[in-house]
Structure 1
C-alpha cells in the first residue's frame, strides 16, 4: 500500500495483482457444499417488508407537516434514518433480483422502495452496483472506490469527519462525474415517479413533510450507525483482506448486508439466508477479520491516522476476471 508507515496515512491505494477473492472462494465452497445452491433465489417476504417500511415512512412524513424543525430533525435521525437506510439496502437487495424471479418486477419494486428516499436512484444504483460485483476494485470501473481527489483532501480527523457526514453524496455523485451512463427508459421512469411523489408531498402536506424525507436520507447516510457499513465492507484495516463482514444486531434492520463476504461470494442468495452460508461453511469465514459494531468502525476510520480514503484495494483491469 503506497508508502504507508506506522502512524502515517498512505498516499496511494493498496494494489492487488491477483483476481478478487470471491469468485474462487465461491467455486471452492460450492464444490465442497453443493447444498448451498438451495439457498439461491428470491426472498418471498421482500415485497411485504418493503411495502410496510415505505408506507410507515410516508405516513410519518405526513404527520410531521406542522411539526417544529427541531422535532423533525430529531425524528429524522432517530427514526426516519433507520427506515430510509433500510430502503436503500432493500434497493441493494432488489438490484440482485432477490424479491422476484422476474427481473422487471424487481425494478418496479425498487422504484417503489425509492419513494421515501426523496431522490431517484434505484435504477442507476443497480447499474453501478453490479459492476462493483463483477469488477471489484478494478481501477476506472468500480465506482465504489474514492477518487484520488477525495483521498488527498481527506487526510486528518477533521476532514475525515466531514467526509463521513457527507459520504452519501460522494457515494452517489462519484459515478455520475467519473463514469456517467446515458439514461434510458427506466431512469426516466424512476425520475418521473419520484418527482411526482415529491411534488405531491409538498402540494398536499407542505415542505416540512418533504424535508423530513430528505433529512432522513441525509442523516442516515452520514454519521450514523447504519452508515458504518459503507466503511466496514471494503475499507482495508488489514492489508491481506479487502472485504469484511459485520455480525451485529443491525443486520436485522439492513437486509443482513453485514454478511458482506458471504454476499460477495453468493450474490444470488437473499440477505435473510446469508447467515446459513456461514453456518454451512464456517471454516471459510471464521478466520477472516469481522466487526460487531458499525459505530466502532466509523470511530476507527476517523481516529486511526493510517486509515483514510486510500485504504481500499485496487487492481488493474488486465489483472482480473469478471466475478458473478
Structure 2
C-alpha cells in the first residue's frame, strides 16, 4: 500500500520517507519552538529559538525542492506544498509562482536577476547605507531584512504586481496581528522570534553568498533580454561552486538538506535533495576543484561581511573568484536568496 502511494504521488522512487521526514521535522521544530519560546523559561526559550530557526531553514529548502518539481509528480501538488511552507518562512507575501519563476531565471539565464536594486538604493541614501553597513558589521542580516521589506510592499511599489495588493493586505493583517499578539504576550518572546528569523536568514545567505559569481542584473535594465551566457552550461558550471558543510561527514549536510552540493544541483536541477551527495560523487569523485573548504567559507563570510553589501563586480571573473574562495578572501553576494520572488 505504501509503495502504491509513493508510486502514485511522488516523483521519485524512495521519495516518501525522506520527504515525510523533512516535512515532519520542519513542522515539529517550528511549532515546538514557538511553544518553548512561549514558556518564558530562559533555557527553553533558547532551545526554542534555535529549533524554530532550523525549522524555517528546512522549510525553505523544501520550498526549493518544490520549485524544481522534485517532490511530487504533479506540479500542482508541488505548488500547494511550496505555498504552504512559505507561510513558515515568512516569504508568503510574494506568490509561489513568482518565487519559482524568479528562481528558474537564475538557472536558465545564469545570472542573479533582481527587480529591486538595493545597491543603487543604498548608494542614493547614504544614511541608510551607513546603518546597513553598521548592522552587517554586527552580523545582522540587514540586506536580507531590506529585501524582505520590499517583498512585503512590492505590490505597492511595482506596477506589474498591483493585482496582488488585496492579497498582500490580507496576509499583512494576519501575520502582523500574530506578531502583535506575540509582542503583547511577551516582548522577550517576540525578540526570540526576531532572533530566530535573523538566524534563519543568516543560514540562507551563508549558503547563497559563495555559490556563484554570476553577474548581478536588474530586470528593468534594457540589456536584460540580451544576457550573454543564457543557457551556456560550461559558463554555468565554471561560475558555480559547492559549499558543503563537510565532505567527510556527509550527514552534517542534512542541516541544509544538501544544498551545498551546488554544482551537482545545477548539473541536474530536478535531482531530489537526498540524492545530491551520490550525484556529486559520481560527477566529481574526490576532486576538490569546485568545493570550498568549510573553514574558508567561514573566513570569507566573516572578513567580507561589510564589503558584501555592495559586492565586488570584479569577482565575475571565474578564475579570480575561485582563487579567493580557496584562500578565504572571497566577497560573494547578498540579496540573492531563492526566496526573493520579485
Normalization by structure 1: what TM-score?
A: 0.62
Partners of 1:194 and 1:47 in 2: CA distance: 30
> Quick one: structure 1 residues 297 and 132, their matched pair in 2 at CA, closer, same or farther if it must change by over 3 Å?
same
How many Å apart are 1:269 and its aligned residue? 0.8
Secondary structure of residue in 1 paired with 2:253: helix
> Quick one: structure 1 residues 50 and 157, their matched pair in 2 at CA, closer, same or farther if it must change by over 3 Å?
same
- Pair 1:246-2:243 in alignment: yes
How many Å apart are 1:76 and its aligned residue? 5.8
Secondary structure of residue in 1 paired with 2:259: coil
Which residue does the alignment assign to 1:230? 208
How many Å apart are 1:216 and its aligned residue? 1.6
Aligned residues: 264
Equivalent residue for 2:289, pick from 271, 278, 287 = 287
Structure whose residues are more often helix by fraction: 2
Counterparts of residues 1-324 of structure 1 (less than 5 Å): 41=12, 43-44=15-16, 45-67=18-40, 74-75=46-47, 78-121=50-93, 123=96, 124-137=98-111, 141-142=113-114, 147-150=119-122, 158=134, 160-161=136-137, 165-173=141-149, 176=154, 181-182=160-161, 188=167, 207-208=185-186, 212-222=192-202, 227-235=205-213, 242-249=239-246, 250-282=252-284, 286-293=288-295, 294-302=297-305, 309-311=310-312
Secondary structure of residue in 1 paired with 2:38: coil
> Quick one: structure 1 residues 174 and 273, their matched pair in 2 at CA, closer, same or farther if it must change by over 3 Å?
farther
Structure 2 gaps of 5+ residues are 1-10, 215-236, 247-251, 318-342
How many Å apart are 1:67 and its aligned residue? 0.9
How many Å apart are 1:247 and its aligned residue? 2.2
> Quick one: structure 1 residues 164 and 144, their matched pair in 2 at CA, closer, same or farther if it must change by over 3 Å?
farther
**Relative contact order: is structure 1 or structure 2 higher (C-alpha 8 Å, sep ≥ 6)?**
1
How many Å apart are 1:88 and its aligned residue? 1.6
How many Å apart are 1:235 and its aligned residue? 4.8
Judge conservation of contact 1:228–1:297 (CA < 8 Å) in 2.
no
Structure 1 gaps of 5+ residues are 1-39, 316-324
CA RMSD of aligned residues (A): 4.4
1:106-131 CA-to-partner distances (Å, cap 9, x unmatched) read 12212332333345256143232222
How many Å apart are 1:245 and its aligned residue? 0.8
1:145-180 CA-to-partner distances (Å, cap 9, x unmatched) read 863345787699757526862232244356749877
Judge conservation of contact 1:233–1:260 (CA < 8 Å) in 2.
yes
How many Å apart are 1:311 and its aligned residue? 2.8
Partners of 1:169 and 1:286 in 2: CA distance: 34
Secondary structure of residue in 1 paired with 2:161: coil
Judge conservation of contact 1:259–1:275 (CA < 8 Å) in 2.
yes
Judge conservation of contact 2:244–2:260 (CA < 8 Å) in 1.
yes
Judge conservation of contact 1:146–1:310 (CA < 8 Å) in 2.
no
> Quick one: structure 1 residues 211 and 116, their matched pair in 2 at CA, closer, same or farther if it must change by over 3 Å?
farther
Partners of 2:294 and 2:108 in 1: CA distance: 27
